[in-house]
């Protein structure tokens, strides 16, 4: 089902963040919003996820959708292992399957069992990304999902992410056009 946003307005106190924003995102496709920092990208997906309320406007096609998200921060449970963090949101996925995917994302060996607080920033980012990708969802939000990854790792991770989100509804927020291209975004909304 397609998602429609009509004249969305949001302000915090007197500070307007989104003014009459409208857009359509096709179901089963990857869409991308490219906008400068401070434009309100994160606010927009927070509104779409129902974490905050719009001041005015209309959102359609989001009702009852199961959501998954890669937040701008990792938001991992520090004491839990990488595997446990991922399986936290998808307990129905078998451990071998999760560990297989982790390996595709370069998270094999020692990284599997260690508490995530002992992992590097790049590894934690991949855990957060994989958690979102393996969850059962109808719409996936990705807020700068490849932030902090080195170039080589980023290439591999983007290719694996593309494999996992193919045919699904996803909204990517980024500053980097290469990311949108690598994920096969059918619509790129560029706001500069």
Partner 1 sequence: MPERKKGKTGIRLWTVLFWLAVWQAGSMALGQAILLVSPVAVARRLAELAITAPFWSSIGFSLLRIASGFLIAVVAGVVLAAAGARFRRLRELISPAMLTIKAIPVASFVILVLVWVPSKNLSVVISLLIVLPVVYTNIIDGIDAADPKLLEMTRVFELPALRAVRYIYVSQVLPYFRAACSVGLGLCWKAGVAAEVIGIPKGSIGEKLYESKIFLNTADLFAWTATIVIISYSFEKIFMLLIDKLVGRIERM
Cα distances (Å, whole numbers) of residue 152 to 62, 79, 106, 149, 158:
35, 28, 11, 8, 10
Residue window 55-94: x/- pattern of binding to partner 1, with contact defined by CB under 8 A: -----------xxxx-x-x-x-xxxxx--x---xx-x---
Question: Quick check: 68 and 103 in contact, CB under 8 A?
Answer: no
Distance CA 114, CA 134 (A): 20
Smaller CB distance to partner 1: residue 108 or 184? 108
User: Rounded to the nearest whole angstrom, what is the least distance from the CB of residue 118 to partner 1 in the complex?
Assistant: 10
User: Rounded to the nearest whole angstrom, what is the least distance from the CB of residue 160 to partner 1 in the complex?
Assistant: 20
Using CB under 8 A, which of 1, 23, 49, 188 touches partner 1?
49
- Assign residue 74 a region (left: φ > 0; alpha: ψ between -120 and 50; beta: otherwise): alpha
44 phi and psi angles, rounded to 5 deg: -60, -45
Using CB under 8 A, which of 23, 135, 164, 189 touches partner 1?
135
In the complex, which residues of this chain contact partner 1 (CB under 8 A)? 49, 51, 66-69, 71, 73, 75, 77-81, 84, 88-89, 91, 113, 115, 135
């Amino acid at each position: 089902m397609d998602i429609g946003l009509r004249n969305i307005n949001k302000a915090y106190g007197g500070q307007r963040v989104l003014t009459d924003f409208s857009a359509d995102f096709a179901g089963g496709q990857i869409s991308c919003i490219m906008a400068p920092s401070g434009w309100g990208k994160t606010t927009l997906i927070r509104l779409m996820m129902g974490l905050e309320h719009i001041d005015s406007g209309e959102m359609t096609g989001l009702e009852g959708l199961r959501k998954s998200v890669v937040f701008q921060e990792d938001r991992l449970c520090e004491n839990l292992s990488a595997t446990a963090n991922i399986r936290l949101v998808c307990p129905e996925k078998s451990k071998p399957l999760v560990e297989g995917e982790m390996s595709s994302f370069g998270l094999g060996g020692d990284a599997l069992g260690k508490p995530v607080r002992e992992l590097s920033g790049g590894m934690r980012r991949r855990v957060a990304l994989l958690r979102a990708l393996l969850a059962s969802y109808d719409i996936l939000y990705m807020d700068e999902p490849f932030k902090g990854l080195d170039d080589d790792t980023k290439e591999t991770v983007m290719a694996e992410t593309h494999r996992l989100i193919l045919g699904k509804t996803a909204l990517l927020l980024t500053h980097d056009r290469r990311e949108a291209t690598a994920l096969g975004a059918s619509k790129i909304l560029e706001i500069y």
